Structure 1
Amino acid sequence: MTRSSDTLTYVYAAAYLTEALRDALTDLRGIYGMTVHPLTAEPPTGAPEPPMGATEPPMGALDDPRPVLAFAASPVPADDFNEHDLKTHFEDLRWLEDVARAHHDVVQALATRATVLPLRMATVYQDDDRARQALSRQHHVFAARLAELDAHTEFGVKIYLAPVTDSPEEDRAAHGEAPAPTTPGKAYLQRRKAQHHAVEARYGQARQAAAALEAIASHYATHRVSHPVQNGALTGPAENVLNDAYLVPNAHAQRFTTEIEEAANAYDGIRLEVTGPWAPYSFAMPPSDEGPRTGPDQAQRR
């Protein structure tokens, strides 16, 4: 179905259109509460076979044992997602947060029932037909990536350092030691020296913990991505010093998280945060020249 000129086609993810995915799409709402629907295209000649976990035939195609590749899409107002207005909206943090949350909710809902390849936020096409054409052109790329992601889940692993106290007297008191008599000048130098040693010790603990966690993850994860560390309001008084994502086979997910958390308990002064399971956002391939583009400068060009 081709949408009117008042709307654009917003694409959330690519996945094989199995019965499980159809069930997940039932009554699923996306951005602005719009219904999410599948878009399919004929696979090109020589398209790779779906992974074993996606061999369920789609409804209405029982004579064909292979499921078809589909986009999960919904209409969005052209007035909000055209090139000019997207540039403005991307500076509106409230609007950006609402759209990002709706995008994420759709991808996560689908990921609970099927292997999905998340597309970046604000991947839009002029209409459904343009989206189908892009799906057909990129069929080999999407299919190959889905095969690598099949039966895998993303987990996030973050390490935070607790803030170092400003006063060496507080450190001494915390260890049951009496405060050392000193002059104001010596107290200042002692405070600076204590802070320096405390910071170095915390960073040393973080490096050791990161190496230990990476060694454990290497036994389970198939891929790793290191993201920029977070700062500001996202971390509070603690300092984020490691922000990694791992792609883990579902069969190893429980052991992965358990061993990671147990290993982190051996290190003082750090806080570990393991998040997930997530749809594999960090392991979706970058768009090619023919694939869907992301961002305000790419809207309505497809």
Structure 2
Amino acid sequence: MTDRMTYVYAVARAADGLEDAVAGLTGVDGTQVRLLAGTHDEDGSLVLVVSAVPSRDFQEDALKQHLEDLEWLESVARAHHGVVEAVAARTTVLPLRLATVYLDDDRARSVLDTRRVTFTERLAHLSAHVEWGVKIYVTPSNAPVPGELTPSEELSPGRAYLRTRKAQRSVRDTAYQAAQTAAERVETAGRTYAADRARHRIQQGELATAPGENVINDAYLVPRDRAEAFRAEVSRAADGLDGVRIEVTGPWAPYSFATPRETPDVPAERAGP
């Protein structure tokens, strides 16, 4: 195996000024980003956004170990995202998953050649669209419902504990019902403004860094000219609802919509999560 491999960030539509845009751009491991055309590139309409990375870090065994290293993973993710967003500012991109690597440029080109029709169709679907992330959190208070206990009641410690727990459950149930209402409002905004929606796993464990319980983790593909209207309406979806918080992030390059849900992931030799 050679000491360098080809890391692919995205498939992109060729565009005026794109070469200049990546000329000073560095990616994973601080390597120079460049554009890679296909072998049979009759119209020059598609390119891969790539850089060379050290094989010692990205061959299969080493990569498996690195993926357990959160500091290394965060560094790669930041570099990957930075490249994709820089290119997305100039043209339509089809972002590939983190740590999409090939043995060399020729292997990467072969994927571009064989999947050209699929890539072209997908880029047409994503053109002039951005991605918004929408998370809904339940953050119920642990305090008993007002009026649940009265000063005149004399309860044993056990009964008092059970009464308090019942009141707390009532608060939580109310918050979950409110979260359902918020989710319905968001879905209405999605039907009004968005072209597509992708559901992601709710964030739990180490991924759950925000306060509250994540109950919805969706992404919406929204036409660029309707993006702010979508964001504004979704941001209001929790208005008047206690115990519910909505987090809207974006606009991003359309990571969640790069691969049609009915087909396998794009790269044939992808190494990564």
Fold conserved between structures, TM > 0.5? yes
Tell me which residue corresponds to 1:214.
Answer: 187
Tell me which residue corresponds to 1:201.
Answer: 174
Residue among 51, 58, 77 paired with 1:81:
58
Residue among 141, 146, 158 paired with 1:185:
158
SS in 2 for 1:218: helix
Q: TM-score by structure 1 length?
A: 0.82
Question: Would you say the 8 A contact 1:161–1:202 is kept in 2?
Answer: yes
Question: Would you say the 8 A contact 2:131–2:221 is kept in 1?
Answer: yes
Tell me which residue corresponds to 1:98.
Answer: 75
Q: Deviations over 1:245-288 (max 9, x none)?
A: 00000011011111111232132210011100011110011675
| Residue 121 (str. 1) matches residue 98 (str. 2) | yes
Tell me which residue corresponds to 2:108.
Answer: 131
Residue among 23, 26, 30 paired with 2:27:
30
Residue among 5, 10, 13 paired with 1:13:
10
Q: Matched residues in 1 for 2:194 and 2:152: separation?
A: 50
- Structure 1 window deviating more from structure 2 (232-241 vs 128-137): it is 232-241
| Residue 295 (str. 1) matches residue 271 (str. 2) | yes
Question: Would you say the 8 A contact 2:97–2:272 is kept in 1?
Answer: no
Q: Matched residues in 1 for 2:186 and 2:264: separation?
A: 33
SS in 2 for 1:172: coil
Question: Would you say the 8 A contact 1:123–1:292 is kept in 2?
Answer: no
| Residue 161 (str. 1) matches residue 138 (str. 2) | yes
SS in 1 for 2:108: helix
Q: Matched residues in 2 for 1:39 and 1:74: separation?
A: 9
- Give the deviation of 1:155 after TM superposition: 0.2
- Structure 1 window deviating more from structure 2 (224-233 vs 150-159): it is 224-233
Question: Would you say the 8 A contact 2:102–2:270 is kept in 1?
Answer: no
Q: Matched residues in 2 for 1:186 and 1:262: separation?
A: 41
- Give the deviation of 1:199 after TM superposition: 1.2
Tell me which residue corresponds to 1:230.
Answer: 203
Q: Matched residues in 2 for 1:235 and 1:196: separation?
A: 24
Q: Deviations over 1:189-239 (max 9, x none)?
A: 211110111111111111111011101210110100111111234244410
Q: Deviations over 1:63-96 (max 9, x none)?
A: xxx5520000000001111122112212222211
Q: Matched residues in 2 for 1:24 and 1:182: separation?
A: 74
Question: Would you say the 8 A contact 1:205–1:268 is kept in 2?
Answer: yes
CA RMSD of superposed structures (Å)? 2.4
Q: Deviations over 1:119-141 (max 9, x none)?
A: 11111111112211211111111
Q: TM-score by structure 2 length?
A: 0.90
Relative to structure 1, is the Cα distance of residues 202 and 7 closer, same or farther in structure 2, using a 3 angstrom cutoff? same
| Residue 112 (str. 1) matches residue 85 (str. 2) | no
Tell me which residue corresponds to 1:144.
Answer: 121
Tell me which residue corresponds to 1:253.
Answer: 227
Q: Matched residues in 2 for 1:269 and 1:180: separation?
A: 29
Structure 2 unaligned blocks of 5 or more: none
Question: Would you say the 8 A contact 1:10–1:75 is kept in 2?
Answer: yes
Relative to structure 1, is the Cα distance of residues 10 and 180 closer, same or farther in structure 2, using a 3 angstrom cutoff? farther
Question: Would you say the 8 A contact 1:79–1:85 is kept in 2?
Answer: yes
Question: Would you say the 8 A contact 2:98–2:272 is kept in 1?
Answer: no
